[in-house]
Each structure stands twice: as C-alpha cells, then as structure tokens.
Amino acid sequence: MLNLTGKTVAVLGAGRSGRAAAALAAHCGAEVTIYDSRESSGAILATTEMGHEVKVDLVITSPGIETRGEFVQSFAQGSGALWGEVELAWRCYSGHTIGITGTNGKTTTTELVRDLVEATGKSCVACGNYGVPLSEVVLYEEVPEVIALELSSFQLETIVEFKPDSVIWLNFSADHMDRYRSLQEYREAKLRIFENLSEKALVVERVGEELPERGSKISFSSECPADWSLRNGDIYCDEEKFLSMGETRLRGLHNAENVMAACAVIPELTPEIARETLMKYSPPEHRCELVATLNGVEYLNDSKATNLHALESALRSQTGPTILIAGGKEKGLDYGPLAPLLDKKVKLLISFGEIGEALKRIFSEVLACETVTTLDAAVALASRTSEKGDTVLFSPGTSSFDQFKSYEERGAAFKAAVLHYAQTG
C-alpha cells in the first residue's frame, strides 16, 4: 500500500470518485481535505474560490473536473504533484490490471471481461469509469486478483506512472469536443494508456486504429481479416471457429467486436467457457435495449449513444424501416457525414433538445425531419407516425446534459414515455 504518512492531500470533487480517493489517501496516512467548486454538504468538505491558491503535497482530481481549468490549476500551481483518482488507486493495487478504453463499447466490454475472467476461476471486479471507483476496490477486505478497469479520456489525462498489464483499445471517433480543443487533443488523451506499457503487455486492438507499437498485439475486426474476426455471425480466432453470436443475447457488429476484444484479452479462455458465460450475459441498459413491441413496432433505447460513432453503430445494426429520435446537448460535433447513412436507413428523423433545430437543418434535404421540444413529445410523434414493421430507435448521438442529469436518466425517461403510450394508446 502507498505510504502518504505526513503528506497533505487535496482531493478535488465531492462526488463518489472524490470521496473514495479521500478515504484511500487517509488510509495511506495522509492529511486529507476534499475541495469542491460548489457548495455541498458532507464530512471533510471545504470550498474554495476560483483563483485562490492552495498548496499541498499532492492534488488528486476527479475525472469530471477539467484538468486545465482554473479550479484545478489553482491547486496544482505550487503543489507537489497532480494525480487523478485512478493513478492514486492503481499505486495501491498489486493484482492484474486490464485497462479498457475507446470511444464506444467500454461498459459492455468491461462487463464481459469481468464475467469471463471469473469464469476461468479468478476473482475480478469491473471498476473505474464503470461501476465502483478503483479507490474503493483496493480497500475491499478481499482485493480481486484482476480488475477490469474502464478508462475514459478524462481519467487518462491525469495518469503519471499507471501501467496496465493488458490493454483493450476498442475504437476511436469524435466525442467530448466541448472539453477538448481538437480531435487530436482528445485522441492524445486516450493514447496515454500506452505511455508506460512494458513490452510484455498484451494489447488487444481494433484493426485500422494506428496505435503505438507497444506490447504484444492481438487484432480484432467485424469487417476485415484479423486475429479475431466475424464471418456469417460466427466469431473466429486464428481461423478456427470460437463461438456463434447467435448463442449470445448480444446483437450488432459493435457487440461482436466487444465480445472479440473481451475474449482475446484472456489467453486461458476456452470456447466452452466463453459460450457458457456469454449465454447468461444480459447487455447493459440503454444500449440498443428492446423496451417494447407495440402494434408490431419495436422501441429501442440507445440512450448511451452520446456521440456520432455510437449513433452510427446503432443505425448500421437496423435492418428495417427506422424512425430515429436524436438530439440533446450541443457538443460541437459535425453531424454532416452521417447524412448518407440516415438517407439509407431512416424514414423519419425526430430531433429534440438543444441541438434539435440544428439537426433538422442539416438533414432535412435528405430525409423527412420533425423537431419537438421534449423527449415525451418525440415519443408521442414517433408512435403516431410509425407503422407495423418499423423500429423506433432512440439513439441521441450526443450527451444528455441539456435536459437530463445523465444518459441513464434520459433512457429511463424514454422507457417511461414508451410504456405510457402502451397504456394510453
């Protein structure tokens, strides 16, 4: 365990991640204070004005706080070091770390890795950007042998010595342009996962991602030749059939790649163990989740699609006429390149939220578009205009923070609206 005896530590952010980091730092012997840029209640919580300099031995910041922002920098200047919560916790963990990053598919893959590792007989916890903070995990009475660690770009911004034993890189596409000054800056934050890798590290990567030459590489792809590939719905490993996607509850090319990546990162995994485990796995909520079938119309909740790549993946998985509900916060993303796909897949676009009018302007030349103010109104319009055999796909393509606290709350609102329509007709 890391020794911080006699050190002063400032933890920035009073959410679950921040409080977990504070508890861990105190366990390591530090004198800890949690700071937040807003008024909040709770133990060991202080507030500070923007620009007020606080000097400590170590600053630990939560991932939701912008690293370059004035709040973080007012602490970092003159202090000993700046770490993220993951950096602190990883230094207190001695087991096997599987780091999982990418723009889309992280949560599903993280869950799959956890379940598959446990099926091979080792203890494993899914944590990080998904589930519980790593700082909580390392204080468990029984620390897991393996961690499936989902990592966002925000968390990777603040690593220093973090060095996973295995890495899964799923994909990369535009996202978080409200936080980063350029797409390259966002990519560079993600690429930090490779910064300290040893040559013995296992790197599982999607074909075509152009990643640093680090570690021992295994490739996967649902669309072209790779070490792990997809043919007619079957997953192959080194030219031998490993399992069929039809034996799982997962659908779509994106989920096939999630399965390939999760299986590839566990060398001791057998097809029999994988098949038995995946047959029992249920996909997470809000990711192409079937909510209901009403009058022959399927309603799919894909609220977790907070960027264009996720929206594109959901659309490519549709095989019939689709009414798309999209919209939410303006994140500075360029939706124009999606026009050919929408023209091919979508019979009606219903946009809503902060970016609703902009989406209508962008796509009205290629397909029928309607704009409404709220998600409830979008569901009502989709229900009135849909026909038997249609799919109503709720795949926003941006974040939820204009009208909702999270994509989970947004997804729950969509499901409630659908069920309300089912009851009232």
Q: Which residue ranges form the domains of the chain, and what is each CATH number?
A: 8-87 (3.40.50), 93-280 (3.40.1190.10), 289-424 (3.90.190.20)
Return the pLDDT at 46.
47
Return the pLDDT at 174.
59
| % pLDDT > 70, the chain | 95
Helix axis angle for 308-316 and 253-264, nearest 10°, is: 110
Pairing of strands 234-237, 240-244: antiparallel
Query: With 0-12 CB in 10 A as exposed, 13-18 as middle and 19+ as buried, what is 406?
Result: middle
145: DSSP letter: S
**Overall pTM surpassing 0.85 (yes/no):** no
pLDDT tens-digit series, residues 226-239: 999 999 999 999 99
4, 59 Cβ separation under 8 angstroms: no
**Residue-wise DSSP of 66-125:** -TTSHHHHHHHTTSS-EEEHHHHHHTT--SEEEEEE-SSSHHHHHHHHHHHHHHTT--EE
Query: With 0-12 CB in 10 A as exposed, 13-18 as middle and 19+ as buried, what is 16?
Result: middle
Rounded to an integer, the average pLDDT of 133-156 is: 96
254: DSSP letter: H
**Residue-wise DSSP of 21-49:** HHHHHHHTT-EEEEEESS---STTEEE--
d(CA 266, CA 115): 11
Q: Tabulate helix, strand, coil % of the chain (nearest 5).
A: 35, 25, 45
pLDDT tens-digit series, residues 175-195: 665 677 788 888 999 999 999
Return the pLDDT at 325.
98
- Chain centre to alpha carbon of residue 213: 24
Phi and psi (nearest 5°) for 8? -100, 130
Rounded to an integer, the average pLDDT of 374-383 is: 96
112, 258 Cβ separation under 8 angstroms: yes
131: alpha, beta or left, given left = phi > 0 and alpha = psi -120 to 50? left
Residues 6+ positions from 286 with CB-CB distance below 8 Å? 301, 302, 303, 304, 407, 408, 411
- Tokens 């030749």 belong to 225
